[in-house]
Amino acid sequence: MILNETPVRTAKNFAINNINIEDIKALDKVSEFNNLTITADTAKVDIEQNASKIELTYGLNEVLTNQINLKSNQNLKLTTKSKENVETQIEFKFDTENDTLIDNIEIVADKNTKSTVILKYLDEENMQAYHNGAIRVNAKENSKIDVIIVNFMNTKSSNFISIENTLEQNSKVNFCIVDFGGKESITNYYSNIIGKNANNTINTIYLGKENQLFDLNYIAELRGEKSNIDIDVQGALKDNSKKHFKGTIDFKKGCKKATRKRKRKLYVIIRYSQIFSTSYAFMFRRRS
């Protein structure tokens, strides 16, 4: 199955315009997923099981998007209400009775609010778990939200995440992604930065071992005047692990004085003379 295609194609010899995963589950029937823990101040954040269906601009591919819309077993909508920073933590733990998670998480950072949302994905060492999820953030005017995603799944499991943001005027969205788990861990990240002075920051750290495969595709479209995107990706590979990193920053018409910063570091650990592999591509487009 082809997924995580880049919106701007790079040279074929890089072999990172998309990725082909052979053994994605068909999932004709999906059981419930009940092993989650939510820690939150419900007086300051609303949490409901009524996330709306997704219509992603990019996403990983149509098959995985439809899987979330038709077969999700967790549909969480969080709406922030506090002007002081409030932390919400959601932990999903895979076990033999909860081995498949298809989650649709919608986060609304209300106007003039501050919040932190932590999402953790954990599983047992000897099981093969499956995760396909969508996380959407709608940052209203003057809001600030930090979203922390922690992937501690094991190296037998599959992890697929589609992230999509909309940033309104003077909003700030900070993502911290800790990506350690999964036989394959595939991430598609898209930000629609429409508001004046809106600011989006992405900090990602990954650690690959054994035969793990990481494929990261980050896309930002800047439309707001003086808007900004910062991307910082750092990580390490050892054994036969591989990583692909693709980034597209698109300066749309009207984004006067918009800025971007891109930084990535690669730390490579080689054990027993085994081979590591990593690929990068970064594209910029300005339209004014």
Q: Is the pLDDT of residue 283 over 80?
A: no
Share of the chain above pLDDT 90, in %: 72
Query: What's the number of domains the chain is made of?
Result: 1
* Most confident residue range from 12-16, 117-121, 242-246: 117-121
Q: In what order do the strands lie in the sheet with 74-80?
A: 45-48, 74-80, 100-109, 130-139, 158-167, 184-193, 213-222, 242-251, 277-286
Kindly report the backbone phi and psi dihedral angles of residue 181, in degrees, each rounded to the nearest multiple of 5, phi listed first.
Answer: -110, 165
> In this predicted model, what pLDDT tens digit does every residue of 200-210 receive, in sequence order?
999 999 999 99
Q: Confirm whether 144 is domain-assigned.
A: yes
Neighbours of 245 (CB within 10 A): 22
* Residue 20 domain-assigned (yes or no): no
Q: Is residue 280 part of a domain?
A: yes
User: Which residues make Cβ contacts (< 8 Å) with residue 130, sequence separation at least 6?
Assistant: 25, 27, 99, 100, 101, 157, 158
Reading the block at residue 33, the tokens are 């997923």
The dihedral over CA atoms of 81, 136, 140, 37, expressed in degrees to the nearest 10, equals: 10
- Confidence label for 262 from pLDDT (cuts 50, 70 and 90): low
> Is residue 7 included in any domain, yes or no?
no
Half-sphere exposure of 61 (CA within 13 A, CB side): 12
User: How far, in Å, CA of 109 to CA of 33, rounded?
Assistant: 26
Mean pLDDT of the 84-104 span: 96
pLDDT over 80 (residue 114): yes
- Strands 86-94, 36-39: parallel, antiparallel or unpaired by DSSP? antiparallel
The confidence score (pLDDT) of residue 14 equals: 62
pLDDT at 95: 95
Assess if residue 189 is contained within a domain: yes
- In a domain? residue 18: no
pTM of the model: 0.89
- Beta-carbon contacts of 70 under 8 Å, excluding residues fewer than 6 positions away, are none
Q: Which domain holds residue 227?
A: 45-286
**What b-and-e string marks burial along 92-120, b requiring 16 or more CB atoms within 10 Å of the CB?**
bbbeeebbbbbbbbbbbbbbebbbbbbbb
Is the residue at 230 inside a domain? yes
DSSP state of 42: T
Average model confidence (pLDDT) for the chain? Answer: 87
- Does the residue 119 lie in any domain? yes
The set of residues, in sequence order, having a beta carbon less than 8 Å from that of 241 and lying 6+ positions away, is: 208, 209, 210, 211, 212, 213, 214, 276, 277
